[in-house]
Amino acid sequence: METLESQVVVIPPASVRLNPSRDSDWARSVLTFVEKATSEGKTVTVVADERLYSPQEAAEAAHVSRMTIQRRIEDGTIKAFKKGSHWRIRKSDLDSYRDRMWAETAAVMANDF
């Protein structure tokens, strides 16, 4: 976690607790930071970023090969974007791909009966 004196505070998702009354060092630190900033007339903005996957991480999450993910990116089946020279896939786009994949699989299996 970055120091609370900086403009941006990054909190890893695994450490997030939405109840500042709990005995949590980071929650007290964040609350102190927000109180100080607002008392100085500053605006505090909280943003939740969507999880981004690399093609390898997406492959593991979807239980397919990395090459399958790469092919689906290239043919437009999976929406992805380049961050620098690396492909990134939003969690919502990966979830959408997996939902379509399961629906197509179920439809094919239904035709067999």
If asked whether residues 41 and 67 sit together in one domain, one would say: no
pLDDT at residue 52 above 60? yes
Residues 74 and 100 in one domain: yes
Please state the pTM of the whole predicted model. 0.58
Nearest to 56 by CA among 77, 86, 99: 86
CB 20 within 8 A of CB 27: yes
Domain of 104, in residue numbers? 52-111
pLDDT digits 0-9 by tens, 35-44:
888 899 888 8
In terms of Cα–Cα distance, which of 58, 79, 81 is closest to 69? Answer: 58
| Whether residue 58 is found in the same domain as residue 11 | no
Residue 55 burial (10 A CB sphere; 0-12, 13-18, 19+): buried
User: Tens digits of per-residue pLDDT, 8-25?
Assistant: 555 555 555 555 555 567
